[in-house]
A and B are shown apart, each in its own frame.
Chain A
Amino acid sequence: MSRILISLFVGLNLLTSPVWGAWPEKPIKIIVPFKAGGTSDQTARVFQAAMKENNLLSQPVTIVNVGGHYSIGSRQVMEANPDGHTFLLIHIALMGGEGSGALNFGWRDFAPVAATGEFCLFPMVRKDSDINSVQDLLGAAKSNPDTLIFGANLGAINHLAGVMLQELAPGAKFRFVQIGGGTANYTALTGAQTNATVLSGAEVVKFTRMPDGSENPEAQIKPLAYTGSERFEQLSQLPTMKELGYDMEFCIKSWWFAPKGTPEAAIKGFANALQASTSTDRYQKFLDSKGFANLFLGGNDLQQDLQNTWTAIEPVAKLASKK
């Protein structure tokens, strides 16, 4: 008797459950697996504000920063209840970690929701070096392998980009040295402790341009080319890698994932809210300030893009982790 009652109850519950239309039924939690104040955190907060100001969701959005290594917060989402109220904001680091073997899980353990906004990189060298183009840079790395010092944060985005760069010319080899993120690499390159690195468009502008956009005469470093599919707006005199004939595109998008098994309605619903946010003024202003390009991918396009990125990144991450 009681068993019948329970199944009746469960059945009723299923019929009235929010999966069938009432999503979201409680506040939505975005886990950012990085500390507060970083670029990913700022991105999440801009979306949160845009959704709130435009009433894009019937429930509030909260952001939880899980600091430490990004695997901690990512894992929390992977293991979260797939009820459609927990999402993860991450980027290519997730694939880098899986490819190098640092993580024992990866992007295929999540349900992809969307990709938003992207930024790409500039290979950088010192102004007083004889290197004036990507061809010079790769040539130098090829004729004297393992001597050009490439500053990176080992295992992270700038390292992966450096490995991808050297793989363009068979036989070319940089000597990768642990320096850190953009500011640390700028310092090391300025102090001639390293010979090359990569910086984001916003960083290049900050470190080499005056506030009015003219070149800063005190800057001792110069960008060579852009790894995006189109030229970077504020440095439009620089060609893209594709224009130079290199098959390399290296851009970092914000990826939104949900735990595997999350109902389709929740994934669609959240993706729609994200997409609507990308056309708000607030989001546009944020993109401009960060030098990001506007972009939105969902559904099959997203799946395809993730697969393509993985195909390109997996071997690079393997190489990067090899000594």
Chain B
Amino acid sequence: MDLELLFAAAGQILTPWPFFLLFIGTSLGILVGAIPGMTGAMLIALTLPLTFYMDPFNAIVLLVAMYVGAISGGLITATLLRMPGTPAAVMTTFDGYPMARNGRPGRALGLGITASFVGGLIAWITLATITKPLSVFATKFGPFEYFTLIMMAMVLIASVSEGSLAKGLISGLLGMLISMPGVDPATGMPRLTFDWYMLNGGLKLLPVLIGVFAVSQIIKDALDIGQVPERIAMSSKGMLMSIRDFLHQGVNLIRSSLIGTWVGILPGIGASIGSVIAYTAAKNMSTTPEKFGTGSEEGIVASEAANNATVGGALIPLIAMGIPGSVIDAILIGALMIHSIQPGPTLFLTNADIVWGMIAACLLANVLMWLLMTSSVKYIAGLMYLPRSFVLPVVMVFCVIGSFALNNTMFDVWVMLIFGVMGFLMECAKIPLGPFVIGFVLAPLAEEKLRSGLMMTAGDFSPIFTRPLPLFFTILAVILLLWPIVGDWVRKRRLSHK
């Protein structure tokens, strides 16, 4: 039955128009991933308004394809320029760039591309098999279960994001604060609107996202607009992995993919963390750990397999529980809601075609990504040298159109510009943007769940501590929050003893 639905969805994607969108989405994703300073989150946030007038199935195919493409495209710049095209490709720079400098750019890219493909494939198998059982399980989740799960996710993102825990928390809290104005979920009355009716609807996700991710990046790029990267000689020698390569890298490939998938499933943390963990694991288990950082094949494979695996992994909680696993997933949830589709446990029942479309698109985009990148990486690499003075104005125009098109109000355009400046200032202060967005998306969800739970129990908080799952999530959250602090303290004590 399910397989039938999956094949039906795949069949629908392979008809001309959806396939065209899949193709466009994957290629645009790769291109954007390959151009430093442009990210997948930016591309998807800007594409979202264009999908308003599309059939929801096609819209999802397009966006998922972009997601897969963007995570993969980052490896090109990471390898050839030592500049991660997307944050997820940071670990790839460590070994991809040295290998490319040593005259084997084709080999480095080839390893990365195929590892990406295998990572995506393994994550996809997990996605296709466990999402439905998990969604059945998730219908048993009451408001307290959701509330504690979301709290745990928020702590997780703050504690593992780059930079200090304090800055992560500041960023997350700022995001939560920004999400507060609008209609109070427990009374239906406007709050924190300062009697200004434009704020009755609150600050919308899309203009805030476009501002924080795209506009802030434009400001940053505009400040060093003349910068042109140094060229590296490109050859496609060694692009395809041989059977011997697969035998050599097999264990590493599977381990890294599984790590990536698992990290993707955990709500709140995305591709960057997945590749860091897989890279570290590969290094610890390698027989030649000293090669890591100087052009190790294992390093490239671990990083790329893991970051692509997080894509499929992160779609699992999105579909099954309506909780985003990463920043891009938060935008995808917005896309579904724009089409009146509520992600969550009942999605399989109410919109089976969309779910299976999403799952099938994930697989097909992965295959297409591999074909496109293997065949045309040489030409895509040329894009890195596009002058920024051409790229930035075009992107800025799209930012304005995208923000306006959501609600047809200039208000949203102003919101976008203000958050663009804010995002830029946060980056200057080295405050990470990830927790901000996750806080902004998750806080209203957490609030609504907590308050409906309290309405059910007439104000009694005790289910958080008496029901097994909420208790488990709460304890885990506390441990995650205290871990870095305790660890720091122990280290300092040890140092002072010496």
Contact = CB atoms under 8 A, between A and B. Distances in A.
A315 to B, nearest CB: 17
Contact of A159 (B140, B188, B204, B339): B188
B188 A183 contact: no
B350 interface: yes
A243 B189 CA distance: 35
Interface in B162-196: 182-183, 185-190
Interface string A29-71: 0000001111000000000000000000000000011111101
A223 to B, nearest CB: 18
B456 A193 contact: yes
B458 to A, nearest CB: 7
B197 A71 contact: yes
Given A35-B407, A177-B456, A72 B186 contact: no
A11 to B, nearest CB: 37
B249 interface: no
Interface residues of A, number: 42
A112 B30 CA distance: 53
A68 B185 CA distance: 14
Contact of B139 (A177, A179, A191, A320): A191
B451 to A, nearest CB: 6
Given A37-B52, A72-B200, A155-B183, A100 B189 contact: yes
A36 B200 contact: no
A75 B197 contact: yes
A193 B467 CA distance: 14
A22 interface: no
A68 B200 contact: yes
Among A68, A181, A183, which residue has the most Cβ atoms of chain B within 10 A?
A: A68
Contacts of B14: none
Contacts of A178: 185-186, 448, 451-452, 455
Among B188, B204, B448, B455, which residue has the most Cβ atoms of chain A within 10 A?
A: B188
B87 interface: no
Nearest to B454: A177
A175 to B, nearest CB: 7
A187 B344 CA distance: 9
Contacts of A177: 452, 455-456
Given A178-B448, A183-B342, A321 B456 contact: no
Contacts of A179: 452
A155 B188 contact: yes
Contact of A193 (B143, B190, B202): B143
B190 A69 contact: yes
A190 interface: yes
B375 interface: no
B56 to A, nearest CB: 8
Among B186, B345, B407, B448, which residue has the most Cβ atoms of chain A within 10 A?
A: B407
A206 interface: yes
Interface in B194-212: 197-198, 200-202, 204
B346 interface: yes
A175 B187 CA distance: 13
Contacts of A156: 188
B52 A64 contact: no
Contacts of B452: 177-179
Interface string B141-177: 1110000000000000000000000000000000000
A186 interface: yes
A320 B189 CA distance: 11
B456 A72 contact: no
B204 A68 contact: yes
B197 A155 contact: no
A68 B342 contact: no
Given A178-B455, A191-B142, A183 B350 contact: yes
Contacts of B183: 69, 155
B340 A176 contact: no
B201 A68 contact: yes
26 contacts: A37-B52, A64-B408, A65-B407, A66-B408, A68-B202, A68-B204, A69-B190, A69-B200, A71-B200, A72-B407, A102-B188, A153-B188, A156-B188, A176-B455, A177-B456, A178-B186, A178-B451, A178-B455, A180-B342, A183-B342, A184-B344, A190-B139, A191-B141, A193-B456, A320-B188, A321-B189
Given A66-B409, A206-B350, 20 more contacts: A35-B407, A64-B408, A69-B200, A71-B200, A72-B201, A101-B189, A102-B189, A102-B190, A154-B188, A155-B187, A155-B188, A177-B452, A178-B455, A183-B346, A184-B342, A184-B344, A187-B346, A190-B346, A321-B187, A323-B187
The 10 A-B pairs of least Cβ separation, nearest first, read A155-B188, A68-B201, A69-B200, A67-B407, A69-B201, A177-B455, A178-B452, A154-B188, A37-B340, A191-B139
